[in-house]
Amino acid sequence: MVLTYPHLFLASLECNRLHVVMKPIEGFGVAKVVDSGDPNFRPGDIVSGFTGWEEYSLIINTKDLRKIQQDDIPLSYHLGLLGMPGFTAYAGFYEVCSPKEGDHVFVSAASGAVGQIVGQLAKLRGCYVVGSAGTKEKVELLKNRLGFDDAFNYKEEKNLEGALKRYFPEGIDIYFENVGGSMLDAVLLNMRIHGRIAVCGMVSQHSYHDEEGIHNLFALITKRLRMQGFLQSDYLHLFPQFVEQVGAFYRQGKIVYIEDMSEGLESAPAALAGLFTGKNVGKQVVRVSRD
């Protein structure tokens, strides 16, 4: 049992939606231990893990709490760049996409918590990288701050298949799939032979049943594609290696991270709602306390 005082609090929507009726809303947070009955944690320790939407949390299940070494990396980054989203990008890109130098990589929801890291890891691997996002501001971010080779606003494209053909005249080797639906159908038509599609954890919870349906799966055969779903939790043995490598990229200035921080617990509901309208830019976090 650990009592934590949250520094920062992530509006971790997928989980919250499921839990909202059952118990106080949970989210992934970074917090300071105030008191502890678990010998692995002492007052003053900084931890990340599932905390409540509250100023103080009583954590019964301490086995999933992770201790954080405070250094030059902003604490909130342990919810994004060095947290679950970063690790999702890391595991998905390196373990599922089988990337090679020169591969043509497409990332949807590319300015999001996961997508922005996938794109940067792909650039560091020597790939050509294009991302899609839903606002002009996000597209500018992708091109000017996140180092993508190119980016486009999918809402401005009447013909997604044609748009992808413009950005990938020779086809796509790797698609990091965050959205499903008509984008996936358009991508299938633009994949290259022996391409890989990594299907990221986000989609499942936002759109449980795809009403429109996916129509172009025949491309899996004609182009001999591999489409693979994954969850970061299957790769936890790689977490220490991930923190070391991505932490080093950050310290060397090779990777940046964009987060959208709202202030105060009272801002959490609006931050949560903003995720569904695409209002946030980058990883959405809520600062509960500055202590």
HSE at residue 123, side-chain half, CA atoms within 13 A, is 21
Q: Measured from the CB atom, is 41 or 106 closer to its own copies?
A: 106
Rounded Cα–Cα distance for residues 183 and 20 (Å): 31
For the chain, give the number of residues: 291
Q: In this chain, which of 211, 237, 240, 291 binds its own copies, going by CB under 8 A?
A: 211
Q: In this chain, which of 58, 214, 236, 248 binds its own copies, going by CB under 8 A?
A: 214
Rounded Cα–Cα distance for residues 107 and 125 (Å): 15
Q: In this chain, which of 222, 251, 269, 279 binds its own copies, going by CB under 8 A?
A: 222
Q: In this chain, which of 16, 153, 228, 267 binds its own copies, going by CB under 8 A?
A: 228
**Is residue 237 involved in binding its own copies (CB under 8 A)?**
no
DSSP state of 185: H
Give the residue carrying structure tokens 């903003």. 274
**Is residue 207 involved in binding its own copies (CB under 8 A)?**
yes
Distance set, CA 57 to CA 24, 32, 53, 291 (Å): 10, 10, 8, 15
Distance set, CA 194 to CA 110, 127, 172, 205, 226 (Å): 23, 16, 10, 28, 7
Q: Measured from the CB atom, is 94 or 230 closer to its own copies?
A: 230
**Is residue 215 involved in binding its own copies (CB under 8 A)?**
yes
Q: Which stretch binds its own copies (CB under 8 A): 46-54, 216-224, 271-279, 281-289?
A: 216-224
- Residue 275 has phi, psi (to 5 degrees) of -60, -35
Residues with Cβ within 8 Å of 123's Cβ and at least 6 positions away in sequence, in order, are: 129, 147, 148, 149
Footprint on residues 186-205 left by its own copies (CB under 8 A): 199-201, 203-204
**Is residue 14 involved in binding its own copies (CB under 8 A)?**
no
Q: In this chain, which of 192, 223, 254, 287 binds its own copies, going by CB under 8 A?
A: 223
**Is residue 231 involved in binding its own copies (CB under 8 A)?**
yes
Interface mask toward its own copies for 142-181; x: CB under 8 A? --------------------------------------x-
Q: Measured from the CB atom, is 82 or 184 closer to its own copies?
A: 184
Rounded Cα–Cα distance for residues 17 and 258 (Å): 24
Residue type, 170: E
**Is residue 212 involved in binding its own copies (CB under 8 A)?**
yes
Q: In this chain, which of 67, 145, 218, 270 binds its own copies, going by CB under 8 A?
A: 218
Q: How far is the CB of 70 from its own copies (least distance, A)?
A: 34
Rounded Cα–Cα distance for residues 10 and 36 (Å): 22
- Contacting positions for its own copies (CB under 8 A): 180, 184, 199-201, 203-204, 207-231, 234
